[in-house]
Amino acid sequence: MLKAENILFKVGDKILLHETSVAFEENRFHVIMGPNGAGKSTLLKLLAGSEKPSGGKIFFHEKEINQFSRKELATVRAVLSQHYNITFPISSNDMVMMGRYPYFTTVPSKEDKEICKKATAVMQAEELMNRDYNTLSGGETQKIQMSRILAQIWNSENNQNKILFLDEPVSHLDMKYQNQLLRVAKEMCQKNITVIAILHDINLSLNYADRILLMKQGRIEYEINDQQEITVPVIKDVFDVDSKIIDPGNGHRPIIVF
Amino acid sequence: MNKLSFRFYYISLSILLLVSLIVSTRVGAVDISFQDIISFFGHKLGFIPDNNPNSIPQALFFQIRLPRVILCAFVGAALSVSGALMQAMFRNPIVEPGLVGTSSGAALGAAFVFVMGKTISGPFADFIGPFMLPFFAFLGGLIATLLVYRLSSVFGKTNVNTMLLAGIAVNALASGGTGFFSYIARDPQARSITFWNLGTLSGADWPAVELVGISTTAGILICLRYSKALNALLLGETEAGYLGINTEKLKMRIILINTFIVAMATSIVGVIGFIGLIVPHLLRMMKSSDNRFLIIASALLGAILLNMADMVSRVIVAPSEFPIGIITAFVGAPVFLFILIRNSRKQQQGGFYA
């Protein structure tokens, strides 16, 4: 569905992403992991179309990504960033409505408002809606941003597959918000939405991911489709950390301790 | 955020603008009563028979007072809308055309034409003469704005400190240039271009009203199309891009429109500072940061406030007049400092105003 062929990315002489080919099957939860500077964000930016690869091609539904107009792209994929710097006062309502900007010119339609309402309901953010965004806590602002992102790619008719990119979405959220946000993302996979997320917590990843890509020094080194493939040497190789894997049995996912 | 609708603000600001326009046509070196004003219009429109068509008060009203008041309203609108646009673009509440060099660059361009215009246009003076002033004012304003913008936006993020410092340097350079032209000017009238650093509306006439009126109205109508995109810019440039906005194109267009309206106004009235800073800020505090609202309401409130400032400038030292830039600076600079202090305090608390 989303496919990268021989893409690479360099700034000047420095190669941030070595030649890589990778495909993302639809309606699954893909997680990208790796140490800092491994090229995770670079890969995500290329896939999301905000940076152009120095070489290679990216296809979305068999159509090259640079054949899409910015506006078309905005209706089929959305990106949640780690955090946002909002300089001016704005209500949470207006913030979520921004997700519908690609769909209306001056005044939002009834449908736009309806979708915003549904998106905030999914995120359980209704009681925050009339507040000033800048007075919210970190976890609450991320809830609002996630609502905005969901409103942007809301699949009313399940007509077309869409992509949700999450760039370290939970790095500074507490456990409750982390799980809530990832659970919602996971639910979206049932609504014809493919999730591609960068995460740092390996146990969270094991909990939600259908597939984990492990990156190191600008390359995808491992592709984990089965939780059993995560081994101590793999973790040592990628993260340079000694770990122990605990298998609780009974089909529970393994727990990794450092 | 209060519940009063956008429409309520538009209507009340429009009424206030009308009142301030009427009141300010009255006062000045020569006091004109409301009855006089009504009869002047009656004469002009032919409702009231005109026994003395060339009376001095009537001539004064139509040739000096009325164009000045209307020009003032357009200039106030232009500078305030420019402030709203720049603040949205730089994603920072302390930007305005006077601070980032647009105004002083435009003033330099205009001073250049005043002093050197006859020399460079030569035999074609009649033909290109009228276009030279707006053209060079625009060019000067554009170069100054781009310079400050490029210097302050390294790595895609606008650094406020660098922006203010770059603004100081560019402003100093531009006003130095303006000073240089006023020094070498032979024409005694051109020597008075020093007034430009303080601004004055005394040069108002109908051609000036036409120039600034048309440029400001056109500029505002065009930039309303970009208000949604400017809202999205609040998220950051990359994030606005994810919403389908071509941010590079947007910024370039906003800089062009903005420089155009500021340069046209500045080429006539000189540098009037701080009005573009205060007006959008007040509106944001009163109601909303939505740029569509800010653009429309800034035009109205800017026209009102500059009109009031001009009224003061005409009254306090009548029959002579006080440079309007001094008044806007006296009111605006403290407000600027207030915003600056509040922002740096927020920054210390880990806020996002950086």
Q: Which residues of B touch A85 (CB under 8 A)?
A: 91, 236, 352, 354
Q: Does B98 map to a domain? A: yes
- Tokens in use for B43? 């004469």
Q: Does B1 map to a domain? A: no
Q: Does B38 map to a domain? A: yes
Q: Does B181 map to a domain? A: yes
Q: Which residues of B touch A50 (CB under 8 A)?
A: 238, 241-242
CATH number at residue B88: 1.10.3470.10
* pLDDT tens track for B136-178: 889 999 999 889 888 887 655 667 678 778 889 999 999 889 8
Q: How far is A101 from chain B (nearest CA, A)?
A: 7
Q: Does B301 map to a domain? A: yes
φ, ψ of residue A172 to 5 degrees: the values are -120, 35
Residue of B nearest to A77 (CA): B242
Inter-chain CB proximity B238 and A73 less than 8 Å: no
Q: Does B330 map to a domain? A: yes
Q: Does B161 map to a domain? A: yes
Q: Does B317 map to a domain? A: yes
* pLDDT tens track for B303-348: 999 999 999 888 888 777 788 888 888 888 888 888 778 766 665 5
Residue of B nearest to A97 (CA): B232
Inter-chain CB proximity A86 and B246 less than 8 Å: no
Alpha helices (H) along B46-187: 56-60, 66-90, 102-121, 125-152, 160-184
Residue of A nearest to B347 (CA): A87
Q: Is the ipTM reported for this complex over the cut 0.85?
A: yes
Q: Which residues of A touch B231 (CB under 8 A)?
A: 94, 98, 101
Which residue in A78, A99, A101 is closest to B228 by CB distance?
Answer: A101
B40 in Cβ contact with B58 (< 8 Å):
yes
**Residue B255, domain extent:** 6-353
Q: How far apart are CA B129 and CA A73, in angstroms?
A: 49
Is A90's Cβ below 8 Å from some Cβ in B? yes
Name the nearest CA neighbour of A79 among A176, A192, A162: A162
* Residue A91 per-residue DSSP state: B
Burial class (CB in 10 A: 0-12, 13-18, 19+), B269: buried
* pLDDT tens track for A180-228: 999 999 999 988 999 999 999 999 999 999 999 999 999 999 999 988 8
B267 in Cβ contact with B134 (< 8 Å):
yes
Please give the tally of structural domains in chain B: 1
Please list the helix, strand and coil fractions of chain A in percent, rounded to the nearest 5, in that order: 40, 25, 35
What confidence score (pLDDT) does residue A148 get?
96
Residue A114, pLDDT above cutoff 80: yes
pTM of the model: 0.87
Share of chain B above pLDDT 90, in %: 35
Q: How far apart are CA A60 and CA B12, in angstroms?
A: 51
The residue that leads in pLDDT, B129 or B254, is B254
* pLDDT tens track for A2-46: 999 999 999 988 999 999 999 999 999 999 999 998 999 999 999
Q: Which residues of A touch B92 (CB under 8 A)?
A: 87
Name the nearest CA neighbour of A192 among A159, A219, A224: A159
Is B289's Cβ below 8 Å from some Cβ in A? yes
